[in-house]
Amino acid sequence: MIAREAVRVLVANWDGSYTVPSRRLYPHQWSWDSAFIAIGNARWSPRRARIELLSLFGAQWRDGRVPHIVFNPDVPEGAYFPGPEFWEARAPSGSATSGIVQPPVHAMAAWQVHLAEPDPAFLRRIYPRLVAQQQFLRTARQSPEGLMSIVHPWESGMDNSPAWDIPLAAVVAGPMGVRRRDLAHVSPDERPTDRDYERYTALARAYRDTGYRRAGAFAVEDPLFNAAYGAAESALAKIASAVGLDPAPHHAEAARITAAMVEHLYDDGLFHGRDAGSGILLRSSSAAGLVPLILPDLPREIVNALIGTALDRFEIKRGLLPSFAPGTAEFDPARYWRGPSWINLTWLVWQGLRHRRPDLAELLADGMVRAVTTSGFREYFDPFTLEGHGCRDFSWSAALVLDLLC
């Protein structure tokens, strides 16, 4: 029943070659959404999953970056802010895009799509594009310590996480001068504040004005983003082997980034962000700090410490992972990435626990199914009451629950 409903949502949000995250709030193609959606679509239509990923990579830039939004030219101007007229960017394919990126979870998705229905031709097509995506990060975003930076909170995928409060406060911004479109669909208590948006637009504008080359006042090494990069190298190793190429460089790069993360981002049971400019650790209680559990070769003692934190501070025995630890001053159970549970974060940590602590993974799988059964495929959920928030019929909530059920 739930699986059938999930497919209904994915079908309703399909736009011919990709899936919108949500019809009204996010009417274009988003980068990491497409990866999660492909993982779910692989369960009932691997062909659709392959098309989803290939259409996203069709808008890849010459420098290898995969833009975080690919705009649908048929959607009326002003339906989403900031739209193509703000970003002023175009892929070589001609598509209007944004100029920033999102966590590179796509190689992981491509491998899962291949597992659902082996297709070496698909792997051969997508592999060089996935390699170029990683290469862009190494070239444009790597610090001397070997970690990848994000240059905008939107690049973390966890826009208004309290983890970014300090670096974001340093961004000087005037009034936006544009009407926010998100508030036409969702209550202001469940979204970032106007002050956040002023800074988001100022940062994006500053990056845009350098031709998307030089970071503005925000450059941060995020544990989720770096974990996705490392997990991508592990997935690329599998893909390389499957198409008859040498997996060794990918294994080596996965090991290298895992070690760099442990050395520079880990402290006291959790991974943290780090300010790329000052090198200062941005200690916080964000669930992003647990996502490195997706790294296959994380040292055992770190895995155990992360599991301890997940149990004590994130209370995952309740079945859902809050995006920020309850019991902290910043925690807000209804405001976007400041506490609510999201299916994608819970699913990532579930992946990391599946082979290490199947008992806990099962609790999370049950929790995700319970959340959507109680409240529908909402965008995010109160971790305690399971009340749904944000938009309805949200694609990755449907896709990832479908993955669990199949």
Active site residues: 159, 379
Residues 352-381 that bind ligand 9WN (CB under 6 A): none
Site string for ligand 9WN, 32-71 (x = CB under 6 A): xx----------------------------------x---
Query: Which CB atom, from 187 or from 278, has the smaller least distance to ligand 9WN?
Result: 187
Cα angle for residues 362, 363, 369 (degrees, 5° grid):
90
Query: Which CB atom, from 154 or from 207, has the smaller least distance to ligand 9WN?
Result: 154
Closest residue to ligand 9WN: CB criterion = 21
The residue range among 139-147, 154-162, 292-300, 317-325 that interacts with ligand 9WN, by the rule CB under 6 A, is: 154-162
Q: Which amino acid is at 404?
A: L
CB of 122 to ligand 9WN, least distance (A): 24
Is position 157 an interface residue for ligand 9WN (rule: CB under 6 A)? yes
CB of 159 to ligand 9WN, least distance (A): 4
Q: Which amino acid is at 127?
A: Y
CB of 158 to ligand 9WN, least distance (A): 6
Q: What is the DSSP letter of 187?
A: -
| 105 within 8 A of 99, measured Cβ to Cβ | no
- Using alpha carbons, list the distances in angstroms from residue 398 to 10, 16, 89, 347: 7, 18, 31, 12
CB of 164 to ligand 9WN, least distance (A): 12
Residue 345: which of 396, 392, 301, 272 has the closest Cα?
396
In this structure, how many other beta carbons lie within 10 angstroms of the beta carbon of residue 300?
9
CB of 316 to ligand 9WN, least distance (A): 21
Residue 343: which of 314, 315, 317, 322 has the closest Cα?
322
Is position 154 an interface residue for ligand 9WN (rule: CB under 6 A)? yes
- Using alpha carbons, list the distances in angstroms from residue 283 to 149, 166, 271, 286: 16, 10, 8, 9
Site string for ligand 9WN, 176-195 (x = CB under 6 A): ------x-------------
Site string for ligand 9WN, 64-93 (x = CB under 6 A): ----x-------------------------
- Cβ neighbourhood burial of 246 (10 Å; 0-12, 13-18, 19+): exposed
In this structure, how many other beta carbons lie within 10 angstroms of the beta carbon of residue 154?
20
The residue range among 26-34, 113-121, 143-151, 221-229 that interacts with ligand 9WN, by the rule CB under 6 A, is: 26-34
In this structure, how many other beta carbons lie within 10 angstroms of the beta carbon of residue 175?
9
Task: Write down the number of H helices and E strands in the chain.
Answer: 15, 11
Is position 196 an interface residue for ligand 9WN (rule: CB under 6 A)? no
- SS3 state at 282: strand
- SS3 state at 348: helix
The residue range among 119-127, 153-161, 214-222, 233-241 that interacts with ligand 9WN, by the rule CB under 6 A, is: 153-161
CB of 183 to ligand 9WN, least distance (A): 11
- Cβ neighbourhood burial of 44 (10 Å; 0-12, 13-18, 19+): middle
CB of 378 to ligand 9WN, least distance (A): 12
Query: Which CB atom, from 195 or from 317, has the smaller least distance to ligand 9WN?
Result: 195
| 233 within 8 A of 257, measured Cβ to Cβ | yes
- DSSP letters along 97-109, please? E-S------HHHH
CB of 288 to ligand 9WN, least distance (A): 12
Is position 27 an interface residue for ligand 9WN (rule: CB under 6 A)? no
Radius of gyration of the chain (CA): 19
Is position 30 an interface residue for ligand 9WN (rule: CB under 6 A)? yes
- SS3 state at 174: coil
- How many residues line the site for ligand 9WN (CB under 6 A)? 10
Query: Which CB atom, from 136 or from 154, has the smaller least distance to ligand 9WN?
Result: 154
Q: Which amino acid is at 262?
A: V
**Residue numbers at the binding site for ligand 9WN (CB under 6 A):** 21, 26, 30, 32-33, 68, 154, 157, 159, 182
